[in-house]
Amino acid sequence: MKNHEEAGLPVLQHRPADGHKGTFGRVLIVAGSRGMSGAAALAGTAALRGGAGLVSVALPESVQTAVASIEPGYMTIGLSETAAGGVTESAFREILPHLTGKDAIAVGPGLGNNSQVRGLVRRLFVEATSPLVVDADGLNVLAEDFRSGTLAASQGGVRILTPHPGELARLRGSSIADVERDRETAARDFAKQHRVVVVLKGPGTVVTDGDRIAVNSTGNSGMGTGGSGDVLTGLLTAVVARGGDGFESARLAVWLHGRAGDFAADELSETALIASDLPRFFGAAWQDLANRHADVSGSGDRK
């Protein structure tokens, strides 16, 4: 049954007054490569602004210092890299000790697209026991595995995939036109077949677990800019790290991401909006959500 955005607001997450940084989620983000270090920084910053208590960003050693200098609030983990500045498959052994105790993991932004990355992402998808968000290059390197039906999380938590239409087309082995012809059906059928949550990005982002489906109403054209998806990845991972249902967590994160984009566009214009602006407006989005829930509780009316 469809559950469009108008059917109700996403669930507001409670933050206990006696909470601490461990209470609010431990996040690991595997991202970045030489020339794409900004993707790692955007995702890490967004995870912090998304409410995660502790955020670690694992990335190639050659870009570790640059990414660490952008935001002091997250930790960085240097990984073995190829001559081209991308992570190696053997970096999984270096990541492995850091998987323990993580409430959510993200992989993909800015990693690059080669066999070494594919091996690393595949191992994370299959072996990580925490919920896993897969985006960008993480999706591209797994496309062949999804098309062949050989990929399944053997013991892990929920897997949330965040493709744009081109990426979903590659995952399905179809054309972009086929995806765009019926976005909801394309996303729902893929989610059901592979037992994942799909966040099909674009105007009216579709969130589905193969059964439930929501079409997001927030956001604007200013968010069609490089790095916006990396910000969503970080925010989504932070929300997932708080626990609860994967579908509802994805729905909440998508709504907040778009709402932050609306606040950013109001101040900066849609034309001037860039991805690094978005985390600055997460606070306004969180507060707006809290106010809407207060109005619903107080009057029974939804805005």
The pair of structure tokens assigned to 87 is: 């992570």
List, for residues 206-227, the tens digit of each pLDDT value: 999 999 999 999 999 999 999 9
Contact indicator for 143, 171 with CB cutoff of 8 Å: yes
- Which among 194, 192, 204, 139 is positioned nearest to 169, based on CA atoms? 139
> For the chain, what percent of residues have pLDDT higher than 70?
94
Q: Which CATH architecture has domain 22-294?
A: 3-Layer(aba) Sandwich (3.40)
Kindly report the pTM of this predicted structure. Answer: 0.94
Residue 287 exposed, middle or buried by CB count within 10 Å (0-12, 13-18, 19+): exposed
At 242, phi and psi to the nearest 5? -80, -5
pLDDT for 2 equals 41
Q: 299 pLDDT band (50/70/90 cuts)?
A: low
Given a contact cutoff of 8 angstroms between Cβ atoms, the answer to whether 286 and 256 are in contact is yes
Question: Which residues lie across from 215 on neighbouring strands?
Answer: 206
pLDDT at position 298 is: 63
Average pLDDT, the chain: 93
pLDDT beyond 90 at 152: no
Task: Kindly give the pairing relationship between strand 75-79 and strand 159-161.
Answer: unpaired
Position 303 scores a pLDDT of 36
pLDDT, tens only, 69-91: 999 999 999 999 999 999 999 99
For the chain, domain boundaries: 22-294
Rounded mean pLDDT, 6-29: 81
State the greatest distance between any 2 C-alpha atoms of the chain, in Å, as a whole number: 61
- Of the pLDDT bands very low, low, confident and very high (cuts 50, 70, 90), residue 4 is very low
Sign of the four-CA dihedral 102, 108, 109, 110: positive
**Amino acid letter, residue 217:** S
Beta bridge partners of 26: 54
Rounded CA Rg of the chain: 18
Q: Is the pLDDT of residue 269 over 80?
A: yes
